[in-house]
Amino acid sequence: MLVFAALSLAGCASVSGGAPVGGFVERSVRVDGAEHRYQVFVPAQRRRGKSLPTILFLHGTGERGDDGDKPTRAGIGPYVRAHADTFPALVVFPQAPEGRDWNGVAAAIAFAALEAASEEFGGDPDRTYLTGLSMGGYGTWELGLMQPRRFAALVPICGGLTAPRAERDLFVGPLRDEADKPAALAQRLKHLPVWIFHGAKDDVVPPGESRAAYAAFKAAGAANVRYTEFPEANHNSWDPAYAQTPELWPWLFAQRRK
């Protein structure tokens, strides 16, 4: 699969130089001959060192498309936008094409965007983190399994390992043929710090998916795995995770790739 990076500045050029607050820039990558737009949050100049902690964020089903903007409007994007003057990390927002989940070409787009943004803005390869919500929670497991030595920590939110309902063929590709998917997941990723979030009242992706994954990690002897279930949350457990769990950020940024 051929991947080429292309750079295009969108309305936030002020983040370069000595910008007092962080901001979003638009970029694009060429994957298999097609251009795919994505956005990058670049921290304020005073927050930048020689290299930046870097977060790859995978959106849900509703943010698919080709506008390059919708992925910034749900999940981590609104939180980062509200804390643009203080948020210390580079955040990469790839966009899956319509009808695509985070596998195949969409996974290639995500990895290409991460590489291009990290190279341009000085992302730290030892402090690169992967998180996503709903379809992107599935994608967090998917991309983590595809490149298990790439990331320093994983934060899947309201994701799962198997299709949540018969009409939605959503799955984690590397586990598709495994009889015990949670156990296989844990064996392959138990070396990674993981913090799983889910809503107890989720009627889109049942919380049992995350509970089973967490139990499997504990049974596999994972040294750094956490699970937070919000008792009153339905499918939207990303807002309480990103915006109302302040301990998430110091935990995340303390993790380094081993």
CATH number of the domain residue 233 falls in: 3.40.50.1820
**CA dihedral of 185, 80, 76, 35, whole degrees rounded to 10:** -90
Q: In the sheet where 23-31 sits, what is the strand order?
A: 3-6, 23-31, 34-42, 90-93, 52-58, 123-133, 153-157, 194-199, 225-230
pLDDT number for residue 169: 81
pLDDT number for residue 19: 59
Residue in 158, 142, 164 with CA at minimum distance from that of residue 96: 142
| Rounded distance between C-alpha atoms, residue 28 and residue 35, angstroms | 6
For residue 223, count other CB atoms closer than 10 A to its CB: 9
Domain range for 124 is 3-254
Residue in 118, 26, 7, 103 with CA at minimum distance from that of residue 71: 26
Backbone angles phi, psi at 18, to 5 degrees: -105, 45
What is the full per-residue pLDDT of the chain (258 aa) written as tens digits? 444 444 443 333 334 445 567 999 999 999 989 999 999 999 987 556 679 999 999 999 999 999 999 999 999 999 999 999 999 999 999 999 999 999 999 999 999 999 999 999 999 999 999 999 999 999 999 999 999 999 999 999 999 999 887 767 888 999 999 999 999 999 999 999 999 999 999 999 999 999 999 999 999 999 999 999 999 999 999 999 999 999 999 999 999 998
pLDDT number for residue 32: 87
pLDDT number for residue 200: 98
Tokens of 198: 């889910």
- Which residues on neighbouring strands pair with residue 52, listed in sequence order? 123
pLDDT number for residue 47: 57
- CA–chain centroid gap for 92, Å, is 8
pLDDT number for residue 235: 97
DSSP letter for each residue of 151-170: -SEEEEES--SS-SBTTB--
End-to-end CA distance of the chain: 28
| Rounded distance between C-alpha atoms, residue 103 and residue 136, angstroms | 10
What's the pTM value of the predicted model, to 2 decimals? 0.92
| Residue 43 CA neighbour count, 13 Å, CB half | 20
Mapped onto helix, strand or coil, the DSSP state of residue 95 is coil
- Indicate the DSSP class of residue 203: S
Q: How many domains in the chain?
A: 1
- Do the Cβ atoms of 80 and 53 come closer than 8 Å? no
